[in-house]
Every structure is written in C-alpha cells, then in structure tokens.
Amino acid sequence: MRHSAPRGRFKRLTCVGAAAVLLSFVAAAPAQADAVIPGVDEIVSSPNIKLIANKPKEGAFAPETALNSDLAFQGRYAYAGNYNGFTVYDVSNPRKPEQVTQMVCPGSQNDISIQGNLLFTATDSPRSDDSCKSVGVPNSEPETVPRWEGVRIWDISDPKNPVYVKSVHTTCGSHTLTPVPGKGKDRSSLYVYVSSYNTTVNNLPNCPLPHDKISIIKVPVKNPAAAAVVSTPVLFPDGGFPGDPEDPRDYATSGCHDITAYPEKNLAAGACMGDGVLFDISNPAAPKVLTTVRDVENFAFWHSATFNNDATKVVFTDELGGGGGAECTPAIGPNKGADAIYDIVRKGKSLKLEFRSYFKIPRENGPTENCVAHNGSLIPVPGRDIMVQAWYQGGISVWDFTNSRKPVEIAYWERGPYNADRLVTAGSWSAYWYNGFIFSNDIQKGLDVLQIKDRRIDRAKKNWTWQFNPQTQTSYSRW
C-alpha cells in the first residue's frame, strides 16, 4: 500500500456527536499516509477538502443495524437509501441539507435509482409480502412460506410525498438495479436491469442455481403500475467463472452484483462476481455480451463499474470481503480490494477490455475498520478522468486516472474507526459528485457533504437541473 511516503501535514478534526469543528483549507495535493491511524471519530484529510455539513440518521434509520446505502439525485433533492427505507433531503443549500421526508419501507439494501418522476428501490432479502409493513422471512423457512423480493416503484412527482405505485417480483430479488431508457419508437418505455446473485453452493428459496442471468423489467413511463419482467437473459451460458477452490473468497459467477449503463454509447459494464463484462445495449430489452475479463490473482468479487466520459475506459471495483472486512492493511496489499482500470479497445470488429493498472487508497486502516473499494462517480472535468469514491471506513478518495497506467490520488478525507474494539459495518457507502459538492451516505453517521478546492477540479461542470444515478451514466460533454 505504498507506505514508504510519510503522511505529512494533514488536518485533524474531532467530531462531537453530529457536529464537527471545521478548519479552513487551501488547495494542495494530498499527503500520503504512514502507519498512523486516526482515533475514533477523528477526521483526517488532505488540505484541499473539508466537511461542510452532516445530517445524522434519524428515527427508524438511527439504529446501528439500519445501514445507510446508495444515493440518487434530482434537481434540489438527494434520495438516500437505508435498509429500512429511504430519506429525501433538500440539498439546494449544500451547507444546510434539510430532511424533507423519510419513507419507512424495510428491505435490504434499498439500493436506489431515479428516472423522471419514478424512483426505484431494490429489495434483496425475502419478505413476507411486498408491503412496507412486511417482515423478513429466513431462508430456513419451508419453500411453502410466502416470500417476496424484487423492485419497488415509487412516484416522486411530489418529492415531499412519495407514493408507492407497484412492486415487481424478481428471481433472487434485486441487489442493485439500473434504469435504461427505451429508444426510438420505444422511448415511452423504461427498462430496469435487475442484478442479483447467489453466493451459496445450495439452492435457496426464490433463488435456484444456476443463476446465470439478470431480470429485465419493462416500465411504461405513463403507466408504471403495468411494469413487469419482460426477459431474463442468460449472460453466462457456460456458467461463468467457476470460483477458486484454493481461495473461498474468490466467488464463482452466479449472477451480477451491479451493472452500469451508458445508453448514449450503447454500452453497459457488468460487475458479475467472478467476471467483468462489457455489453452492447443498443436494444435495451436484449443486452448482448461483447467480452468478459477475469482476474483470478487479485479480484475476489467484481462489485461495480464506472465508465469514463468518453467510454474508452472502465473502472471495476473488487469488494474483497463483501464490504465487511478490514481489507486496507499491509497484509492484504495494494492490489486486492482495489480498483482495476481497463481500456476499451477494438480488436477486429469487437470491443475488448485490456487491463492497465490498479488503484487503492495509500492509507493503512485499523483491524476494526471495514475498508474496500466501493461506490463512486466521475467528477465532470472536461478532458480529464477524475473520480470520487467511497471506501467504507477508508473514507473518501478523489483520484485521477486520465493516464490509465498511472492513477494518482489528489484528495482524501476520512474518519477514524467507528469503534476501536469491534468491527462494525460503517463508513462511506457511496460518495458522488453533484453540482459542485461531494455527497456521501455514511452507513452510521448519516449524510455528509464535502467541498474540494483544487485547480484540477475547478473546471468541473455544474447543472442544477441534472438527474444523477450512479448506475446510469450520461455524458457531460454537452452541458
């Protein structure tokens, strides 16, 4: 993990409850880390980034077991997932985000996406029914016991009063979901790619093996109550990566964890457990696999994907340990639990993915800090490939991969361990750039808003009418 360089000078902030004393900052490159690990709730960062707001979890979302999850944005609002539902925040003043409403509707992990006036939440745990009053059903219960898992659809025409419109059951539930707009004569339709998987060696109720497919839901935009599964394409007719018998943490492919679509480019990238995949989605209802890649040596669980703006590169993440392990330690090293940068190149008539380099935060974390590559997004800087990314308790990293072979971190921010004595799932689940600020959904601490001042970021574009979903990329070249 490149511990040879000293941490150097850094800001040190101490959180007291939900408040933090904020120090001024100047634009500068981040200091590299030595082996000094911050104390509980102590904040360290490079001088060019600071926390400007925090909104703690409230009500039904406050317990330690109620994990905050993904984020999506539209106009002045941020929508924050939680295993118990989702919260709507007014972020028109990023320094003073305000909670607008909280929808209690349990069903892990409530991964969240928006398209137009429709919001989608993913349920990846068997429930007694599709209502918001349902209870969990253990897999040990007989198959005859009623179960539901899949996708819930909400109308957010009035963000202060979301309306639950429809549920769609999907095989193996929905761990994540990806909206893909229809095209041409089909532009009144929306397709939702449902990613789900089975990490066991046994059949599960509602998730029989082999599960080498995704589910695709077709949503008539003007009549979302008519949404239904229209296809379940098998992506891995050969079964995909079979797993590594010598390392049980290297999962076999039995579904996809996440798919990121880039509709303008007719491409999607799938992180599918043991395989990285590039798709042709020119027909959104029938995606075609263009190529797959594997990394048996260093990748254990292909977790997510992000294109650069030109769709000439893909950043894949490896969620080693499933997000619950302390993977940012010298024993794990710099290439596991990391990002992998691939260039998209043309070989004959086909597109291929060619590996270029790894990127991992260069700071050591403690044994009670779950830390691994997780969710992030591009920062829209013309002519550059710059990304902000969450690393759970490893904090937030801003890094430049314009040179695919030599990625460079340019800013970082992190809290010390959530707990010094026990490993608790905590830290930044998602960190995204939206309208000039970084928003992070911290699993335990709530919504964080950060500001970065750096000459390399100054030209980043802003658009308050923008809609942002992490799994549905749009080009910022036309803004």
**Residue 120 is assigned to a structural domain of this protein:** yes
Question: Is pLDDT of 209 > 90?
Answer: yes
pLDDT in tens, 262-317: 999 999 999 999 999 999 999 999 999 999 999 999 999 999 999 999 999 999 99
What pLDDT does 51 receive?
Answer: 98
**Residue 27 is assigned to a structural domain of this protein:** no
Q: What pLDDT band is residue 250 in, cutting at 50, 70 and 90? A: confident
What pLDDT does 14 receive?
Answer: 32
Question: Is pLDDT of 478 > 80?
Answer: no
Spatial distance between the Cα atoms of 271 and 80, rounded to a whole number of angstroms: 22
For 223-320, where are the E strands, in sequence order? Answer: 228-231, 258-262, 267-272, 275-280, 288-293, 302-307, 313-318
Output the CA–CA distances (angstroms, integers) from residue 188 to 119, 166, 370, in the order listed. Answer: 16, 18, 42
* Coil, strand or helix at 402: coil
Min mean pLDDT across 5-14, 209-218, 386-395 is at: 5-14
What pLDDT does 5 receive?
Answer: 29
The token pair that represents 442 in the structure block = 């911290």
Q: What pLDDT band is residue 462 in, cutting at 50, 70 and 90? A: confident
**What backbone torsions phi and psi does residue 264 show, to the nearest 5 degrees?**
-60, -25
Query: What is the mean pLDDT of the segment spanning 145-169?
Result: 98
Share of the chain above pLDDT 90, in %: 86
pLDDT in tens, 343-368: 999 987 799 999 999 999 999 999 99
**Residue 24 is assigned to a structural domain of this protein:** no
**Residue 235 is assigned to a structural domain of this protein:** yes
What pLDDT does 24 receive?
Answer: 33
What pLDDT does 200 receive?
Answer: 84
**Residue 26 is assigned to a structural domain of this protein:** no
Q: What CATH number should be reported for the domain holding residue 401?
A: 2.130.10.10
String of b and e for 166-195 (b: at least 16 CB within 10 Å)? Answer: bbbbbbbbbbbbbbbbbeeeeeebbbbbbb
Question: Is pLDDT of 34 > 60?
Answer: no
The DSSP H or E segment spanning 32 is none
Question: Is pLDDT of 182 > 50?
Answer: yes
The token pair that represents 452 in the structure block = 């970065």
pLDDT in tens, 77-124: 999 999 999 999 999 999 999 999 999 999 999 999 999 999 999 999
Question: Is pLDDT of 10 > 60?
Answer: no
Question: Is pLDDT of 15 > 70?
Answer: no
Asked if 15 and 43 count as a contact pair (C-beta separation under 8 A), the reply is yes
Q: What pLDDT band is residue 246 in, cutting at 50, 70 and 90? A: confident
**Residue 85 is assigned to a structural domain of this protein:** yes
| Domains held by the chain: number | 1
pLDDT in tens, 134-148: 999 999 999 999 999
Query: What is the mean pLDDT of the segment spanning 215-224?
Result: 98
How high is the mean pLDDT of the chain? 91
Residue among 355, 388, 389 at smallest CA distance from 372: 389
Q: What pLDDT band is residue 21 in, cutting at 50, 70 and 90? A: very low
| Structural domain containing residue 365 | 42-478
Q: What pLDDT band is residue 35 in, cutting at 50, 70 and 90? A: low
Asked if 370 and 361 count as a contact pair (C-beta separation under 8 A), the reply is no
**Residue 30 is assigned to a structural domain of this protein:** no
**Residue 259 is assigned to a structural domain of this protein:** yes
Q: What pLDDT band is residue 321 in, cutting at 50, 70 and 90? A: very high
